[in-house]
Amino acid sequence: MTRITEFANPRMAQAFVDYMATRGVRLRIEHDDRYTLWLDDDSQLNLVENELGQFIREPNHPRYLAASWQSGTTTSGISYSGSSLMANIRERAGPLTLTVIAACFIVFILMQIVGDRTVMGWLSWPNADQHLQLWRWFSHALLHFSLVHILFNLLWWWYLGGAIEKRLGSGKLFVIMLISALLSGWMQAKFSGVMFGGLSGVVYALMGYAWLRGERDPASGIYLERGLMAFSLVWLVIGYMGWFNLSIANAAHVTGLLLGLAMAFVDTRKTR
C-alpha cells in the first residue's frame, strides 16, 4: 500500500479517484484534516504518478469531469459542507497572503480619502533623496489607482500566492514577494520614474514561478494552467503595443515574470 498524495479540496481528490477508475486503477480516500489518496496495488504506481502530474497541471480539464460522470458514485464518503465567501478565501490563503490583501485595501482606502499623491508621498519608490527610507523599496507594491487595478492584482495574488503559501510555506512566498517587489520596482523606475505602483510585478513573478514549478515539479502541487500563462503573455504584448490606451507597468511585469521563472528553475534543479 502506497500513499500517493493529499488534497485540501475534497472535489479535487474525488475527481482524480474517479479518473483513475476509468484507467482501471482503484484508489482509496482517507479523510483527516486533508484528503489522502492511497494505492493498494503498487504495480500501478508509475501509471498513477504520471497521471497525477498531468492532473495537477490541468485539474479543470473536461476529461476529469467526464470521468466523474462515468465512474463516480454517490457513496464516496466525502461530505461537502456549505461555507461563506470569507471561509473560502481563508481556506486557500495563508496569513501572509491575507495580510498583504488587507494592507492593499487599507492603502487604497487612504488614497480615496487623502488623495493619491499624498499616499504616494509616503509609500512610492524612493527618489534620489529617499534611498535610506528602506520601506519605499517595497511599499510601492501596495499602491493601486483604481478599483479594477486592485481587484485584478489581488485576485491573482490570492489565487497564486495563497497556493504557494499553503503548499510551500509563508517563507517561500515572502522571499518571492520581496525579491520581485524590489527588482521589478527598480526596473520600472529606470523606465518611468518613481510615480508608479501596484502589485503586478509580484503577480507576474508568481505566474512565472507557478507555471515553471508545475512543469518541472508537478508533485509540488504548485501550477498555473498553460492557458492562463498564455493569457499573461498576451497581456504583456498588449502593454508593449499600447493597445486600448492602458497605463501598464511593462518593465515591472517583464522583470517579475523573469524573476519568477528563474526562482522556479533554481528550486527544481534537483527535482529534474
Domain ranges across the chain: 2-71, 89-267
Cα three-residue angle 178-183-184, rounded to 5 degrees: 100
Q: What is the pLDDT of residue 72?
A: 52
Annotation marks residue 31 as catalytic = no
Q: What is the pLDDT of residues 134-155, one digit of tens each?
A: 999 999 999 999 998 899 999 9
Q: What is the pLDDT of residue 44?
A: 86
Q: What is the mean pLDDT of residues 210-234?
A: 87
C-alpha cell at 103: 494592507
Q: Tell me which fold the domain 2-71 belongs to.
A: Alpha-Beta Plaits (3.30.70)
Within 10 angstroms of residue 224's Cβ, the number of other Cβ atoms is 25
Q: What is the pLDDT of residues 58-84, one digit of tens each?
A: 777 777 777 666 655 545 555 545 455
Residue type, 140: H
Instruction: Kindly name the residue from 200, 220, 232, 247 that is annotated as catalytic.
Output: 200
Q: Tell me which fold the domain 89-267 belongs to.
A: Rhomboid-like fold (1.20.1540)
pLDDT band of 236, cuts 50, 70, 90:
confident
Annotation marks residue 253 as catalytic = yes
Q: What is the mean pLDDT of residues 169-193?
A: 93
